[in-house]
Each structure stands twice: as structure tokens, then as C-alpha cells.
Chain A
């Protein structure tokens, strides 16, 4: 059984990916990369990653968030983060990536920010 489940839903022209599980080296990171590539391949480039269900992330998972961010940017899109757990927020602070990502605690506000 996979360490992570990624569920896709559409909110207007924003694709929301709800992540549930662990984003760690191996399966978790690969699953995130695959989901982002699939969504971009479908021509959707406004992506909101809901990390509220992610209980654990390592440096590989953080790296995958960065790769996702740059991949979406390259396609002229925007990737934003929603519902960071305290642990993820701490890791993004340590790595100074809070200065890179647009982060939201409220989904409605996050969706509105794309317009």
C-alpha cells in the first residue's frame, strides 16, 4: 500500500490536489511528481496543493515541492500551498522556502488569489 493518496478536484480553473499521507524519499515523492506531470499534461497550470493531510515530509519531499513549483512556473502557471502542518511550516522556515511559496490557511482565500 502506498504511503500517500493524492486526490484531484477542480475548483473553477484551479486544480486542487489533496495529499494524504507521507511525502518522503521513494514512493511519496514519485507520486507527487507523477500527479503534477499528469495535471500539467492536461493543460491545467493553476495548481493548489492541499498539504493538510501530510503528516510527514523529508528533504526529498521538500525537494519535490520545489521541483513541482518550478515545473508549473515553466508552463506559465502557478503552484500554491494550502494548510501546512506545523512540521511542514517549520521545515519550510528552516530551508527559507517560505519566501518562495505562496502559502494559505484558507481554501477560499487561496482560490480567490488566482484571479
Chain B
């Protein structure tokens, strides 16, 4: 298994840093352009959520990211150290009454571009999202 772990501070610039690391990892694993794009979009959305909604821009809290590749699957885990939230409570952005809201589409993109997305409350607090994509 091929793995890589990084920790990033809770600031917007970390979104670009995470995406660069994901692109590099994906290319090393032999991902095609579509797969690289999907991973890039998913990690941008998940890290942005971790920085904004999880750690609430508290730079004393890191965003932890783990990339792993096994067989024909790439898995990305993104963890924050915030107070967590219920994904089920996030309004459906495609509901007509939410269409003109300026946010709330990140989880939809993660679900649309990855094959599997799971949310967990790991020991020690925070929220972790595990996303898997077949190569």
C-alpha cells in the first residue's frame, strides 16, 4: 500500500496546498485526467469544509490528510478537530428553495465525483471524511 500523510493549518491557502498534494499523489498512482480532476475537486471541498466549518479558521487546529492507494482504489481521509456536524442536516442545494443560496454545494460535489464518501466521528473529536475513488 502506498500512503502519504500531511497536516495543514486551518487557513484558506491550505485548500490549494492539499489539492497540489492530491494531484501529485494521484499522478504517482497512475490516475487519468478525469480521476485527477475528481480527486482535486473532492479534496478542495473537504479541506475547505474542514477549515471553515470544522476548525472555524482556528490555526491552532490542523487539518489532517491521508492519501492511500491499494489495488485499484485511492482513498483520501480529511480530518478536522472541530465540534462536528451532522451531514444529514445540510440542506439539499438542489431543492428549488435552496438554488439561490451562495453555499452548501461542497458535499454534493464530493458525493458526485467520488465513488464512496463516509463521515465518521473519530476518537479524540472532530469530523473525518473518507472518500474512495476507483482508478
The size bracket of the interface on B is 20 to 34
Most buried by B among A24, A25, A96, A99: A25
Given A58-B41, A63-B105, A66-B100, the answer on whether A94 and B15 have CB atoms closer than 8 Å is no
Return the contact of A58 from the options B13, B45, B99 (Cβ within 8 A): B45
Contacting pair A96 B44 (CB below 8 A):
no
- Per-residue CB contact flags for chain A residues 56-74 toward chain B (1 = under 8 Å, else 0) read 0011101110110110000
Main secondary structure of the interface of B (DSSP, over half): helix
Contact residues of B with A, CB < 8 Å?
12-13, 15-16, 37, 41, 44-45, 48, 93-94, 99-103, 105-106, 108-109, 112
Q: Which residue of A lies closest to B106 (CB)?
A: A59
Contacting pair B94 A95 (CB below 8 A):
yes
Main secondary structure of the interface of A (DSSP, over half): helix
